[in-house]
Amino acid sequence: MTITIKDEQGIAGMRLAGRLASQVLDYLEPFVKPGVTTNALDKLAHDYIVDVQGAIPAPLNYAPDGYPPYPKSICSSINHQVCHGIPNDKPLKKGDIVNLDITIIKDGWHGDTSRMFCVGDASIAAKRLCALTHEAMWHGIQQVRPGAHLGDIGWAIQSFAEGHGFSVVREFCGHGIGRGFHEDPQVLHYGKPGTLTELKAGMTFTIEPMINAGRRDIKELGDGWTIVTKDHSLSAQWEHTVLVTPTGYEVLTLSAGSPAIPDFVQPSA
């Protein structure tokens, strides 16, 4: 395993890429309403990334080993879709929940973030899942500091989510990120405190828990990308890119329109 430690130049590049990725979600938010298609959201995002930000949509034609090239510029995962949903021409309807996952490349550096959106008004259960998944991510982020371990992040997320009756998807995880879209280490969203890789200043990685309202079991659809819950229960995901600082953490994917940070989060030292 080779974990890249970012120097000041790299951190500056990651800060810019992270902020731009979050600003794409700010831009898309007013368009996420009943009747819009995820293809339309994909085109809006693509044009904004390329024409306004002068950046590159990282998912477009991305083809890791064993996967067909991804055909769109964003991922859009609706209701029981866990991750990697491919935008299409089906209109969103009132009550849907949708995750929009944005990764951009700016000056060679990647910024990666996702948010949940409720289309129109969603059920109490759906809104609770989205809200508590957001909190689960922040419980994980709060563990980040030099000397902590990746297992601390996973345990914080797992114990919070399972304590509220939800399940944590095991097959997909966060990842190191920098000049590469997916770098070492893998960041599991479950685990035991004090285990796995020790964190060091200059590491950058994503924390992106996928939390299901039902069982954690998943399956892949025939398109080779879309992952869904086996029991058809709702799934939610949030994602931030995080930097390990000398004294704690810095979230790199915040912008003016980012959802409020939960009250329990203590500012990083």
Distance separating alpha carbons of residues 112 and 21, to the nearest angstrom: 6
Is residue 268 scored above 80 in pLDDT? no
Confirm whether 2 is domain-assigned. no
pLDDT band at 246 (very low <50, low <70, confident <90, very high): very high
Is residue 214 scored above 80 in pLDDT? yes
Structural contact between residues 216 and 167, judged by C-beta atoms closer than 8 angstroms:
yes
Confirm whether 228 is domain-assigned. yes
The C-alpha angle with vertex 172 and arms to 107 and 174, in degrees rounded to 5, equals 40
Q: What is the 3-state secondary structure (H, E, C) of 109-136?
A: EEEEEEEEEECCCCCHHHHHHHHHHHHH
Confirm whether 268 is domain-assigned. no
| Number of domains composing the chain | 1
The C-alpha angle with vertex 168 and arms to 165 and 173, in degrees rounded to 5, equals 160
What pLDDT sits at residue 149?
98
9-62 confidence digits (pLDDT tens): 999 999 999 999 999 999 999 999 999 999 999 999 999 999 999 999 999 999
DSSP 30: G
Confidence (pTM): 0.97
Distance separating alpha carbons of residues 226 and 207, to the nearest angstrom: 20
- CATH number of the domain that 98 lies in? 3.90.230.10
Is residue 239 scored above 90 in pLDDT? yes
pLDDT band at 109 (very low <50, low <70, confident <90, very high): very high
In the chain, what percentage of residues exceed pLDDT 70? 100
Distance separating alpha carbons of residues 126 and 130, to the nearest angstrom: 6
Residue 224, by phi and psi: left (phi above 0), alpha (psi -120 to 50) or beta?
A: left
What mean pLDDT comes out for the span 169-194? 97
What mean pLDDT comes out for the span 120-149? 97
Helix (H, G, I), strand (E, B) or coil at 226: coil
What mean pLDDT comes out for the span 173-185? 97
Helix (H, G, I), strand (E, B) or coil at 82: strand
Is residue 185 scored above 70 in pLDDT? yes
What mean pLDDT comes out for the span 112-127? 97
Q: Whose structure tokens read 């079991």?
A: 217
Q: Which of 209, 79, 91, 82 is nearest to 143 (CA)?
A: 209
Is residue 269 scored above 70 in pLDDT? no
What pLDDT sits at residue 78?
98
Confirm whether 55 is domain-assigned. yes
Is residue 172 scored above 80 in pLDDT? yes
Confirm whether 263 is domain-assigned. no
What pLDDT sits at residue 193?
97
Structural contact between residues 84 and 76, judged by C-beta atoms closer than 8 angstroms:
no
Distance separating alpha carbons of residues 149 and 220, to the nearest angstrom: 30
Q: Which of 5, 6, 51, 3 is nearest to 24 (CA)?
A: 51
Q: How many other C-beta atoms lie within 10 A of the C-beta of residue 86?
A: 21
Domain that holds residue 36: 8-251
What integer best gives the mean pLDDT of the chain?
97
Residue 209, by phi and psi: left (phi above 0), alpha (psi -120 to 50) or beta?
A: beta
Confirm whether 256 is domain-assigned. no
Confirm whether 265 is domain-assigned. no
Phi and psi (nearest 5°) for 161?
-65, -50
What pLDDT sits at residue 66?
87
Confirm whether 260 is domain-assigned. no
Is residue 82 scored above 70 in pLDDT? yes
